[in-house]
Each structure stands twice: as structure tokens, then as C-alpha cells.
Amino acid sequence: MEMPLFPLNVVLFPGMALPLHIFEPRYREMINRCLDENLAFGVVLIKEGREVGGEAEPRRVGTAARIVKVDRQADGRMNIQVVGTRRFRIEALNRDLPYLTGRVRHFPVTDGDTKLAVERAHKVRPKITRYVELLTKATGVQLKLDRLPEDATSLAFLTAITLQVRPEDKHRMLALQGVPQLLELGNYYLGRELQLLDHMISSQEVLPAMTIGPTGQLFAN
């Protein structure tokens, strides 16, 4: 299927909420088309290039974004809220329109109900809870994580959403097909980040609040 693509320096996961400010004319056109035709668009991490004012080469795995809220401004700009739905893999890019489009195919996760996935989810649960607690202490921002999901697939994506790591690290998680592998990498990042946060708190270093998430907020739904 053909899908409009939005290259960003942000990684979107299934189940993740993301606010976006739409100001470039090409992306206003894209969003208006999506609204008129009830289409999703794909959020893809930029591999090379810039978000604004030029062409960007995207990574080949992204997530479809469903628009759930639109706030139109008088000058034509928009503030929108999207939610990630499902992953896709880009098979071919098309640059004929003002904005990027691509031929994509669904890229589902696998092995979410295997014994290995359940075992790795069991290891991740206490770490993600502790991570949010320490992140709150280190930033001074009150973060709240709702009850952890029971199934391994949802927990894997929640872990990926919550982790405050580089976009390249997040994309590495997004591009993994199996839930056990996603949980294994998430567990590794959690261990690394917990050590860092422990050190920061013990040395009384405080992270600025704006480091939380791509927009200064933590979206973990």
C-alpha cells in the first residue's frame, strides 16, 4: 500500500501518543489530505537530512500514525495529536509529491506469546517500574506509569516508549521483529540507564525537565 511519510527525529511506537506542530506547507497539505481521506501517515526516523526545509532520507521501518485531534490556527498551521498504530517496512520511496510517500507493507511483531517472551517480560517489569521512579527523582518531574500490561508485546512497546534514550537506540528496538528480542534489548537499555540514574541521584545531579521525551513530556500509553 502507498502511505504518506513524515520523516522526523522522533521514533513512534504502536500505542504511543505524540503531539506534532505542522507548519511547513508540504506537511499541511499532507495532513489535510489524511484528514479529508481518513488516512494514516507514517512516522519514520530520519537517517540523513533535516526535518525542516529539505529532503530527508528515512530509515526503512516506521509506524503508522492515526490523527486523533486537530487544532487549526488562523495562519494555516496545525497542532495535531496522533497515536501510533502498527509498524511497517518501506519497500520503495516516491518523491513525486511535495511530501514523501512510500510503498509499505505491514511489519507485525512475532513470538509475543512464547515462553521466552514471558520469561523476559518477567525480568523487565521490576526494572521499568524502578526506572520511572528514578527518572522522576533525577528530573524533578512527576511521571506516572499506569499499571503494567499483562501481555509481553504491550510491555515491550511500553518499555521502548518509556526509555529516554537516543532516537537511534529507539529505532533499533522498533526494527526488531520478535518480542523476545525487543524485550532483551529493552532490558539491556534499562540496566544501563538505571546505573546512570543511580549515579546522577547519588551525586545530586538533576536532569533538565526538557530532556524527557521529544516534546518535553513522557508519553507512555
**205: confidence class by pLDDT, cuts 50, 70, 90:** low
* pLDDT number for residue 51: 62
* pLDDT number for residue 119: 96
Q: Whole domain around residue 60: which residue ranges?
A: 2-106
User: What mean pLDDT comes out for the span 53-72?
Assistant: 92
**Shared domain check, 90 and 11:** yes
Query: Is 80 among the domain residues?
Result: yes
Residue 209 pLDDT more than 60?
no
Domain termination site, one of 106, 132, 163:
106
* pLDDT number for residue 208: 53
**212: confidence class by pLDDT, cuts 50, 70, 90:** very low
**Shared domain check, 174 and 90:** no
Query: Is 218 among the domain residues?
Result: no
List pLDDT tens digits, range 162-183.
Answer: 999 999 999 999 999 999 999 9
**Shared domain check, 97 and 120:** no
Residue 95 pLDDT more than 80?
yes
* pLDDT number for residue 201: 86
User: What mean pLDDT comes out for the span 27-33?
Assistant: 97
Query: Is 220 among the domain residues?
Result: no
**Shared domain check, 93 and 138:** no
Residue 216 pLDDT more than 60?
no
Query: Is 198 among the domain residues?
Result: yes
Domain termination site, one of 106, 126, 145:
106
**Shared domain check, 122 and 101:** no
Q: How far apart are CA 19 and CA 7, in angstroms?
A: 15
Coil, strand, or helix at residue 87? strand
* pLDDT number for residue 146: 73
Are the beta carbons of 180 and 157 closer than 8 angstroms? no
Domain termination site, one of 76, 106, 136:
106
**Shared domain check, 206 and 179:** yes
Query: Is 82 among the domain residues?
Result: yes
**Shared domain check, 102 and 64:** yes
pLDDT, the chain, mean = 90
* Gyration radius (Cα) of the chain, Å: 18
Number of independent structural domains in the chain: 2
* pLDDT number for residue 156: 97
Are the beta carbons of 3 and 88 closer than 8 angstroms? yes
Output DSSP code: residue 149.
Answer: P
DSSP bridge pairs for 87: 63
Q: How far apart are CA 77 and CA 71, in angstroms?
A: 9
The residue among 53 and 106 whose pLDDT is bigger is 106
Lowest mean pLDDT among 31-45, 57-71, 96-110, 202-216: 202-216
**Shared domain check, 62 and 11:** yes
**Shared domain check, 79 and 44:** yes
List pLDDT tens digits, range 122-144.
Answer: 999 999 999 999 998 888 777 77
First to last CA, the chain: 27
